[in-house]
Amino acid sequence: MISEAGSPAGCLVVCPTPIGNLGDITQRSVEALRSADVVASEDTRRTRILLEHLGIDARPIALHDKNERSSAAGLIRKVRDGGTVVLVSDAGTPVVSDPGFLLVRACIEEGLRVEVLPGATAVTTALVLSGLPADSFRFIGFLPRRPGDLKRVFDESRETLVAFDSPKRITATITQLAEVEPERQVVVCRELTKIHEEAIRGTAAEVATELAGRDVKGEITVVIGPPAEREFDSEAALKAVRELVAEGARPRTAARVIAGLTGLRANDLYSARDDSD
């Protein structure tokens, strides 16, 4: 078999690994690791533990955020020459808030075969465990550190939000949410699939209180439910925006003022104003 690049059909295999419990590895992932010519790993120490657990004699090479661009060329050359490169992250599915994007993209652009195996990911595990609406959700990777950026994420999210956060910051994160939306539903998932797995559920105010007295440790995935339906009359709010504009206020300023009073979104009010404004 010849690849699109005209060379023997090597392959880059994107291989999920357990997020905690080593028993969650799939049979296909085990087979891929056993047949690999090269195992490229975000954290070689953690990968060695997994390989030893599986009885696989392989020495992983490092592929992380700091060296991905420089290391990708050699791995691509290996695939081009017919080899099998297996990409793993420290836990879960590579590329999803983990290294690997540049390597995957480069292989695709060269017409080389890329195979993605299904398997463990904290994103959907936490989403289902949360019990919050899962028909539509948004995953944003790690939550921003700056309060202003974090507020923007909360304000703009109209559906269930899934994100990673540091155990050192999670208390401050939920406290900030509780200050503006105390009734919003939150589930903080800690140490998923591990011995000390825990899901802290409740309103933002309740979860903030629970976290305040604790020294939170471990891997954190937070799930935040969609905002509650607003009971304000949007037509009345829009009318108020128009009246402020008629009195000389700038449209965006008027929309922002009425949004602050009603809880409606300023962008929605601004967009719905009269075209003549």
Residues 160, 100: one domain?
A: no
**Which has more pLDDT, 229 or 237?**
237
Best CA proximity match to 193, nearest among 117, 99, 128:
128
Residue 4 lies in a domain: no
Is residue 7 predicted with pLDDT exceeding 60?
A: no
- Total structural domains in the chain? 3
Residues 111, 136: one domain?
A: no
- Model-level pTM greater than 0.85? no
Residues 103, 16: one domain?
A: yes
pLDDT at 259: 83
Is residue 129 predicted with pLDDT exceeding 60?
A: yes
Residues 95, 20: one domain?
A: yes
Residues 114, 197: one domain?
A: no
Percent residues over pLDDT 70 in the chain = 94
Residue 277 lies in a domain: no
Residue 5 lies in a domain: no
Is residue 1 predicted with pLDDT exceeding 60?
A: no
Residues 39, 102: one domain?
A: yes
Residue 15 lies in a domain: yes
**Which has more pLDDT, 152 or 234?**
152
Residues 215, 266: one domain?
A: no
Across the strands, what pairs with 18? none
- Six token digits for residue 127: 């989403």
pLDDT at 274: 61
Is residue 148 predicted with pLDDT exceeding 50?
A: yes
User: Position of tokens 């000390």?
Assistant: 196
Is residue 93 predicted with pLDDT exceeding 90?
A: yes
Instruction: Find the domain containing 59 and state its range.
Output: 11-120
SS3 47: helix
Is residue 229 predicted with pLDDT exceeding 90?
A: no
Is residue 256 predicted with pLDDT exceeding 70?
A: yes
Residues 113, 137: one domain?
A: no
Domain finish residue from 120, 143, 164: 120
Q: Give the C-alpha separation, 264 to 17, whole Å.
A: 42
Residues 113, 127: one domain?
A: no
Q: What angle do CA 205, 208, 210 make, to 5 degrees?
A: 110
Is residue 9 predicted with pLDDT exceeding 60?
A: yes
Instruction: Render pLDDT for 36-88 as a digit per residue (tens, 0 to 9).
Output: 999 999 999 999 999 999 999 999 999 999 999 999 999 999 999 999 999 99
Domain finish residue from 120, 143, 160: 120
- Six token digits for residue 197: 């797995």
Residue 2 lies in a domain: no
Pair 183, 231: CB distance under 8 Å: no
* Mean pLDDT rounded to a whole number for the chain: 91
If residue 223 lies in a helix (H) or strand (E), which one and from where to where? strand 220-224
Domain finish residue from 71, 101, 120: 120
Residues 214, 259: one domain?
A: no
Helices (H) and strands (E) in the chain, counts: 11, 10
First to last CA, the chain: 64
- The CATH number for 132's domain is 3.30.950.10
Q: Count CB neighbours of 220 within 10 A.
A: 25
Residues 29, 106: one domain?
A: yes
Residues 105, 195: one domain?
A: no
Q: Give the C-alpha separation, 54 to 17, whole Å.
A: 12
pLDDT at 277: 46
Is residue 178 predicted with pLDDT exceeding 50?
A: yes
